[in-house]
Amino acid sequence: MGDLTLAKFVSDNRRRLEELHESSGAQAWPVSFEDFARAVWEGVRKAATLENGAIAGLLKSIRTEELALALACAQGNDRAWEAFSFGYRNAVYEAACAYTRDIAMARELTDSLTAELYGLEEEDGRRRSKLAYYHGRSSLKTWLRAVVYQKFVDEYRHNARLDPLPDDLPATGQGGAVSDSDEQRYARWLGEAVGVSLREISSGEKLLLSYYYVQNLTLKQIGRILGGHEATVSRHLEALRKKMRKKIEDYLRKVKKLNAYEVDRCLNFESRGVLLNLEKELKSE
């Protein structure tokens, strides 16, 4: 694989690469054929084997549309970044929730990683974006979960001074995933529980949740609106989160009659899906 130069790779596979570039929609951003082919080459040359037609199989599996989007984002295309934020920011946040199991920490981890994905630092006058390291060999969401995991591990070890990671940390790539049938069932139960729980809290508490989850205001911004310090807002949010979780758990046990295992699975799903459920319910208020 060491002798698979970019020039040889493009020469041997040019027609197929042109087809992939065309089908990816890269021209809409635009991402040039040269940049697209280089990214595919970077991904292919890292494969375990390139023997006996393996390259053709690898090219067939490339996530071309997601690769083009990631490349456009890495190159600083604002429209591409808007599309990425709309389609993938929640995936980053949900993975962060699964690993940190704390909403405030998940928000901080998401914000920090989003800045790295966007590319705030510059090198030689060019923005450096982590998305430049995505080469389309897995889905973008799977790759993002792995990036979130590595970011979490790095920060955990830095803050804990190399203390061991928690034993029950979800495996990389899983992001707290459950089966499709489980996902539908847990989402339905959780949606019901969130809706009922929201109807049992005060209008002021709903407003606080709306500021944070629907309007995406920072703690400082909320503090200015409410006339309080961001630390106070953080404490109120944490207390409200615990209150909501208790109400959700009570509903699942007492009304839905779920056993301990089912409640635990729902609450694990809640750690990933609570943002979407709160947004949906609060917007309907």
pLDDT (tens digit per residue) in 145-203: 888 888 887 776 666 554 555 555 555 444 444 445 556 777 788 888 888 988 899 99
- The domain ranges of the chain are 6-63, 74-160, 180-283
Counting residues of the chain whose pLDDT is more than 70, the rounded percentage is: 75
Q: CA neighbours within 13 Å on the CB side: how many for 276?
A: 16
Query: pLDDT tens across 114-134, in order?
Result: 888 988 766 666 678 899 999
Q: What is the spatial distance between Cα 117 and Cα 123, in angstroms, rounded to a whole number?
A: 15
pLDDT of residue 172: 46
277: pLDDT strictly greater than 70: no
100 pLDDT band, cuts 50/70/90, is confident
Q: What is the spatial distance between Cα 268 and Cα 177, in angstroms, rounded to a whole number?
A: 10
* 231-244 average pLDDT score: 86
Query: pLDDT tens across 53-73, in order?
Result: 678 878 888 899 999 999 999
The more confidently predicted of residues 25 and 127 is: 25
CATH topology of domain 74-160: Rna Polymerase Sigma Factor; Chain: A (1.10.1740)
- In the chain, DSSP assigns E strands to 122-123, 126-127
Sign (positive/negative) of CA torsion 146, 149, 155, 160?
A: negative
The burial of 67, by beta-carbon neighbours within 10 Å (0-12 exposed, 13-18 middle, 19 or more buried), is given as buried
pLDDT of residue 51: 54
pLDDT of residue 50: 56
pLDDT of residue 178: 44
pLDDT of residue 124: 65
Q: Helices 64-74 and 140-160 sit at what angle, rounded to 10 degrees? A: 50
pLDDT of residue 149: 85
